[in-house]
Structure 1
Amino acid sequence: MFKTSKIKKMRDRYRKFAYVSDIAGIVNSIGEMHGKGFLKQPKLNKNFVKQPDSPVFHENWFIEKIKDLVVAHPDNCKEYPFYGEKIFDEPLIGFIKGDDPLLEQYKDIIGPHHFTPYEIMKIQAESNGVKPPKASDLSVVSFTMPIIKETKKDNARKKKWPCERWAQTRRMGEMFSQVFVREIIVHLMENGILAIAPDVTPMFNKKRYPKVGWASPWSHRHMAYAAGLGTFGMQDFLITRNGVAHRVGSFVVNLQLEPNHERPADIHAWCLHRQGHSCLKCASRCPVNAIDKNGHDKERCYQHVKASTKYCIKNFKIFIYGCGLCATRVPCESGIPDGIESD
C-alpha cells in the first residue's frame, strides 16, 4: 500500500564536494525556499468506487498510520557516520477543522499571504477538475516529531554551529517528512479523497514580508498550535509535551476530522519567561544574540542560519543549513518546563 522512497543515504563514507554532489540536499533547500523541484502532485482517482473492504479514514487511522510510518519507515534514519540511527521518535498528532476561525485570523496574525485550508485545497481541486470542497468539509492533520535524545545531547554541547547529528536531522528529517506525507497523500487520492501537503507545492516559498519578516505561506508551527499540540517559546519554536526540539508538519484532507487536543488560549502558555518565571535560557544559547526579553529577531537569526551552510558542507559533507542551539540545553528541550501548569 505504501511505497518506500528511493532517497539514497551514504552508508559507509562521506560524499565528496557537497556543493555539487549533494543533489538531494540542494534540491530540498531550493524547494523549501522557492517552491521548486518537488514531484508533481498525485492525481485524484475520480472513478473510485468504495468497496466493503475499503479503508475508513477516521481520526484513529491517521494517528496510527503516522505513528507507524515515523517509527518504522526506512527513511527515518541518518546517514554516515550514524547510518541506521533514527532521526525522530514517536510523533504527536492533532486535527483542526477546516473552518476553524483561527485559521482565517492567521491572515491578520501572520499576513494575507498565508493560505487557509480552503485556498490550498481549491488549487488541488481545480487542478483535478472537481469542485472545491467547502471549508467545513476540510481538516488539517498536524504532527510534531521529537528529535532523538542523542541528537539533542550532541547539540547541547555546541556554542556556535550545529552538531553533525542536528545538521543531518535538518536535512534528512525534512526529506523524510515530505516522503511519508506524500505516501499518505497518494493513498488518499487513490481512494478518491482530495488531499494536499502545502509545503511541497509550487506555491510554497519563504521570503521576507513587511509585517512578520521571514515567513512562508503555510506555517506548520501555527497549524500545530491550532491543533493544540503546543505553544510558542521566546525563540518562536513550538513547545510541545515532548519539548521544543522537533520537526513539525501538516497536510490538508477533504474529511471532517474532530480535534483531539484542547488549544491553550495563551499562545505562550508553556513558555517560562512569558509566564513570569526567570528563564531566557534560549537567549543565552543563541550565538548571535537574536533572542532577548522582547522576543526573536528573525533577520539576525536568518543570517546566522544562512552562514551555517558553509560550515555544514565543509564539516559534514551535506548541503544544508541549521542551528537549533536554542532548542537544546533549555528547560523546554524535551517537555513542558517544570513550573508550568498544563492539562
Structure 2
Amino acid sequence: MKAYVTACIEDYIAACQKTSETKWGTPLVGFADARHPRLGELRKVANENHVMPWEVLPDATVVVCYFVPFTRETVLSNREGRLSSPEWARAYEDTNALFARLNAHLIERLEARGYRAAVSPEATAFDREALRSRWSQRHMAWLAGLGSFGLNNMLITDRGCCGRISTVVTNLDVTPGRPLAVENCLYKRGGQCGVCVKRCPSGALTKAGYDRQKCFGLCSENAAVYRDFGNSYAADAAGEILDTGSEVCGKCLAGVPCAFQKPIKE
C-alpha cells in the first residue's frame, strides 16, 4: 500500500503539471506512526493544543506525509529583494490549492479500497494571535522521517527545504517511518553555515532564536502586494474568513545550501 499511495500522489501531481502555471518536482512520501511515543512533544515545540491523529480519525494508524518541492526556477526567482517574487507567491498558493484537491482524491482512492482517511480541519487554520497552527505539517513529516529541522525552522529533506508539506490521517496497515537520528542542517551538525539567518530580511531569524511577530510582519507586507493569487489561510482559528493576500516570504529558504537537497552527504 505504500507504493500505491506514493503512486497516487505522484500521478495526480504529474497530471496537474499539464495545466498548472506552477510546476513541481517529484514528491517525497512518508508515513508517520499515529501513536508514536514522541507525538506528545508536539504540544511542547509546536502548539500546546496540537491535535493528535486519533482526534482526527479514532482508528488512525499512520499519517501519510508528503513533501512537494518547488522547481529550481521558482526558488531562484526568490533570491533577490526584500519581498517575495511573484513566482514564489503563486507557487505557495497554487501548491496549497493543489493539496486540497489531492487530499480529497487520495481519501477517495483509499476509501474505495476499504480504508478510512481524513484531513485535520486544523491543517488550514491559523491563529493570528499565537501565530501557530494546531496541526503542524512539518512535525508530522519529521515523525515520518522525511527530514530534520534546519536553523530556519524548515524541514530539510533529501530534496531540500523549498516546497510545501501536506498530510492525510488514515488507518492503513503499513509500517511507519521514524524520525531521523542525524541532523541534515549544517549549522546544527557542526556549527557552520547559518546562511539562512543572513538571508532573513526582517531580522526575525537569528542563531539565538526566532521572532514570530517580525516574521509575520514581513509576510503581511507581501500579502499587501500579492492579492491576486488567493489566500491559503483565509480562515483564522475561530473560523472567521479574512480578506488577506498571500502571506508568504521564503527568503530564508532560497539561496541556501539546503534549498534543493540535504547539504550533508553521509
Aligned to 2:226: 312
Name which of 66, 87, 97 aligns with 1:175: 97
Aligned to 1:61: 4
Spell out, residue by residue over 1:205-233, the C-alpha distance to the aligned partner (whole angstroms, 9 max, x if none).
21167xxx421111110011111111111
Spell out, residue by residue over 1:37-83, the C-alpha distance to the aligned partner (whole angstroms, 9 max, x if none).
xxxxxxxxxxxxxxxxxxxxx111111111111222258722xxxxx
Identity %: 28
**How far apart, in 1, do the equivalents of 2:144 and 2:19 lie?**
24
Name which of 205, 213, 233 aligns with 1:299: 213
Aligned to 2:200: 286
Helix, strand or coil for the counterpart of 1:176? helix
**How far apart, in 1, do the equivalents of 2:19 and 2:162 lie?**
16
Output the TM-score relative to the length of structure 1. 0.68
Aligned to 2:236: none
**How far apart, in 1, do the equivalents of 2:229 and 2:107 lie?**
32
Contact kept in structure 2, 1:161 and 1:323, CA below 8 Å: yes
Task: Supply the AA of the counterpart residue of 1:163.
Answer: S
* Count of residue pairs brought into register by the alignment: 252
Task: Supply the AA of the counterpart residue of 2:220.
Answer: K
Contact kept in structure 2, 1:71 and 1:89, CA below 8 Å: no
Aligned to 1:195: 117
Helix, strand or coil for the counterpart of 1:326? coil
Helix, strand or coil for the counterpart of 1:73? helix
**How far apart, in 1, do the equivalents of 2:214 and 2:122 lie?**
27
Contact kept in structure 1, 2:68 and 2:163, CA below 8 Å: yes
Helix, strand or coil for the counterpart of 1:221? helix
Aligned to 2:64: 141
TM-aligned CA deviation for residue 116 of structure 1:
1.2
Aligned to 2:239: none
Aligned to 1:322: 248
**How far apart, in 2, do the equivalents of 1:317 and 1:111 lie?**
28
**How far apart, in 1, do the equivalents of 2:166 and 2:8 lie?**
15
1:72 aligns with 2:15: yes
TM-aligned CA deviation for residue 341 of structure 1:
4.4
TM-aligned CA deviation for residue 310 of structure 1:
1.2
Output the TM-score relative to the length of structure 2. 0.87
Structure 1: which 5+ runs fail to align?
1-57, 79-84, 123-132
- Please say which structure displays the higher CA radius of gyration: 1
CA RMSD in angstroms comes to 2.1
Residues 191-340 of structure 1: matches in 2 within 5 Å? 191-198=113-120, 201=121, 205-207=125-127, 213-260=130-177, 263-265=179-181, 269-313=183-227, 319-337=245-263, 340=264
Contact kept in structure 1, 2:196 and 2:252, CA below 8 Å: yes
Following TM superposition, where does structure 1 have runs of at least 4 consecutive aligned residues deviating by more than 6 angstroms? none
Name which of 98, 104, 107 aligns with 2:34: 98
Contact kept in structure 2, 1:197 and 1:252, CA below 8 Å: yes
